[in-house]
Structure 1
Amino acid sequence: MDIKTAAALHRLRLASIPEAISFPALLIFGTGFRLAFDYDALVMPLGMIHGLLFITYVVLLLDVWNRTKWPVKRVAFFFLLAILPFGGLYGDRILKREEEAGVIAARARKEGIVNA
């Protein structure tokens, strides 16, 4: 894995945490606020924020898929994590390990320690 691939993984990690929190925090809060106070104006902006975060996550996931050549099952797993509330937090842990391993491997190749 090269440093650009590790950077793509890092960008996906940065997007996964806000996306994971936005679903339960924004949408459920907005819906609860609407039901409790009969005030609909808050739901649409909160839904749009969550939608933008989700679209950003999916675009970054496709970029990582292009760079890493992951199998379709792995990409589908990370997509499923984006749909589940707080699923992106688990995905962040997996991506962090993979990103760190990629950076270590890239540095080792750069220093000539490993010829892979």
Structure 2
Amino acid sequence: MDISTKSFKVISILEAISFLVLLGIAMPLKYIWDMPQMVQVVGMAHGVLFILYVIGAYFMKEKLNWSWGTLGIVMLCSVLPFGPFYAERKYL
């Protein structure tokens, strides 16, 4: 496994964790306990990681010769709470 694959793997895991933190911790803090600050911080981090994930997925498509269908599945996984974990395990 080379550096670009390892980098995408790390980004994938961080993106998944940030999404889970956003949904499981930050959103309840905002809507139940009226503390919106966490959503701003975690939301920004998740947004940056999401963009890096999408760009990285395209580079992995080129590098690993994924079909467009595989890229579509990997992209779909980016919007599901545990999806990046699945994509990282199955396609890397």
Tell me the TM-score normalised to structure 1 length.
0.69
Q: For 2:58, give the aligned amino acid.
A: L
1:87 to 64, 70, 83: 83
Could you tell me which residue of structure 2 aligns to residue 48 of structure 1? 44
- The one-letter code sitting in structure 2 at the alignment partner of 1:40 is P
Q: Are 2:3 and 1:17 equivalent residues in the alignment?
A: no
- Report the CA distance between 1:93 and its aligned residue: 1.3
Q: State TM-score, norm by structure 2.
A: 0.85
1:21-71 CA distance string (max 9 Å, x none): 211212431110012221222211111011011111111111111223321
1:29-40 equivalent positions in 2, closer than 5 A? 29-40=25-36
Structure possessing the higher radius of gyration over alpha carbons: 1
Aligned sequence identity (%)? 30
Gaps of 5+ in 2: none
Q: CA RMSD in A?
A: 1.7
Q: CA deviation at 1:76?
A: 0.5
Q: Equivalent residue of 1:83, what SS?
A: coil
**Following superposition, which runs of at least 4 residues in structure 1 exceed 6 angstroms of deviation?**
none
Shift of 1:95: 3.4
Amino acid at match of 2:28: G
Correspondence for 1:57: 53
**Equivalent AA in structure 2 for residue 18 of structure 1:** L
Q: What is the one-letter code of the residue matched to 1:72?
A: W
**RCO (CA 8 Å, sep 6+): is it higher in 1 or 2?**
1
Does the CA contact (< 8 Å) of 1:27 and 1:46 recur in 2?
no
